[in-house]
Every structure is written in structure tokens, then in C-alpha cells.
């Protein structure tokens, strides 16, 4: 009888991709949720579905080329992302260098994507939560959400990131999300340095 209710062991995974955001329809199209949006796009490219619930996350598991990957969207809300990321690494028995975190960056203009091998969290609360949980030694993909016009000042940062893209920004945002998914795929498949060479120009 015990075997009937035994939990299925998680699959072997080579790489873990985590897109940051807030759960719930009210946040779905906000700037703060571009990490989720890029993760969704990457899963679509790999023909994977977010059909697993574990480690306080929605997870898509499967293959990307010769690699086994998991793409996760933490459901903890942004400021507690580190708790989910720690559980995800434990679930798949991975070290932080096998992780790629995707998040919105207010210091990067809309349309730009940037990859880094490691580093501090900057002003991003989700990244602060993650670095406090697992340290700074993991790759990350920053997705620009700042106004394209550098003279435009953001009066209220929280209100800005929790608002949707303006109608005149949507096309650029959609293109950036596609480019972000491409960058994530290259980072996972070919390594972070190759992705940096290709997308950080």
C-alpha cells in the first residue's frame, strides 16, 4: 500500500532556469513579471508545459537538445524568491552554477538583455532574496524594463515595475521577450560565456 502513495522522484536535470515574477493574473503582464514571460517563451521553444507543482513553483521539465532542463516560475511572490530557488536546487540536487535566473532590470532600457556569470543583487528584491539564500555565484539574465528615453525619471519605482507596459512599448517588449528566451536557450545549451558574447553587444 505504501508504494501506491510514494512520491515520484524528480527527474535528473542538468540545468535549472528560473524566471522571477509574482503569481496571479493581476501581475501577469507587468514589467516585474518579464522573468515569467521569458520563462514561458523558453518553455514554448522547448515544447514543454508547466505541469509540475513542487518546491513552491510551477515547473516545466524536459529536454533542450541533449540537456535535461527544468524551467521554473516560483509562486512565493517576488520578495521570497530565494526560498523557492533553494528548494528547487535541492529538488534537482544542483549547485548554483547550474542555475540561470531571469529577472526584470530597471537599470537597463526596454529592449535590452544582458547576461552575467555572477554578481550582487543590485536593487532587485527578488535577487536579494536569492543571493541571501544561495550566494552570488550563479548566472543571470537581466531583461530591461526602464524607459527608452533616459531623461524620463521613475517617480515611484514600485508602482512602475508593477504596472504593465504602455501600448507604445508593447511591440518592443514582445520582441525583447523573444530575444530573452533565445539568450536563455544559448546560455543553457552552449554556456553563459557564449551567450554573453552573442547577446551582450
User: Which residue segments constitute the domains of the chain, with CATH numbers given?
Assistant: 10-199 (3.40.50.1470)
Q: Could you read off the pLDDT of 16-38 as tens digits, one per residue?
A: 999 999 999 999 999 999 999 99
Binned at pLDDT 50, 70 and 90, residue 4 comes out as low
Q: Strand ranges (DSSP E) for 48-119?
A: 52-54, 57-64, 67-74, 99-109, 113-116
- Report, as an integer, the average pLDDT of 136-145: 97
Show which residues are catalytic.
Answer: 32
Q: Could you read off the pLDDT of 157-187 as tens digits, one per residue?
A: 889 999 999 999 999 999 999 999 999 999 9
Cα 186 vs. chain centroid, distance in angstroms? 14
Q: In Å, what is the CA distance from 134 to each residue of 66, 81, 96?
A: 27, 11, 7
Please, which residues bridge with residue 100 across strands?
17
Binned at pLDDT 50, 70 and 90, residue 6 comes out as low
Amino acid at each position: 500500500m505504501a508504494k501506491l502513495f510514494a512520491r515520484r522522484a524528480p527527474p535528473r536535470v542538468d540545468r535549472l532556469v528560473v524566471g522571477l515574477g509574482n503569481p496571479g493574473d493581476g501581475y501577469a503582464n507587468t514589467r516585474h513579471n518579464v522573468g515569467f514571460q521569458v520563462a514561458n517563451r523558453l518553455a514554448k521553444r522547448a515544447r514543454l508545459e508547466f505541469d509540475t507543482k513542487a518546491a513552491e513553483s510551477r515547473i516545466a521539465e524536459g529536454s533542450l537538445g541533449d540537456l535535461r532542463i527544468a524551467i521554473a516560475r516560483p509562486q512565493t511572490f517576488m520578495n521570497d524568491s530565494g526560498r523557492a530557488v533553494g528548494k528547487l536546487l535541492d529538488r534537482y540536487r544542483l549547485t548554483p552554477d547550474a542555475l540561470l535566473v531571469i529577472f526584470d532590470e530597471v537599470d537597463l532600457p526596454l529592449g535590452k538583455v544582458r547576461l552575467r556569470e555572477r554578481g550582487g543583487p543590485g536593487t532587485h528584491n527578488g535577487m536579494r532574496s536569492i543571493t541571501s539564500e544561495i550566494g552570488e555565484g550563479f548566472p543571470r539574465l537581466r531583461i530591461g524594463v526602464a524607459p527608452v528615453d533616459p531623461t524620463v525619471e521613475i517617480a515611484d519605482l514600485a508602482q512602475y515595475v508593477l504596472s504593465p507596459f504602455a501600448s507604445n512599448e508593447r511591440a518592443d517588449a514582445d520582441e525583447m521577450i523573444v530575444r530573452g528566451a533565445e539568450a536563455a536557450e544559448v546560455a543553457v545549451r552552449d554556456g553563459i560565456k557564449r551567450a554573453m558574447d552573442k547577446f551582450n553587444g
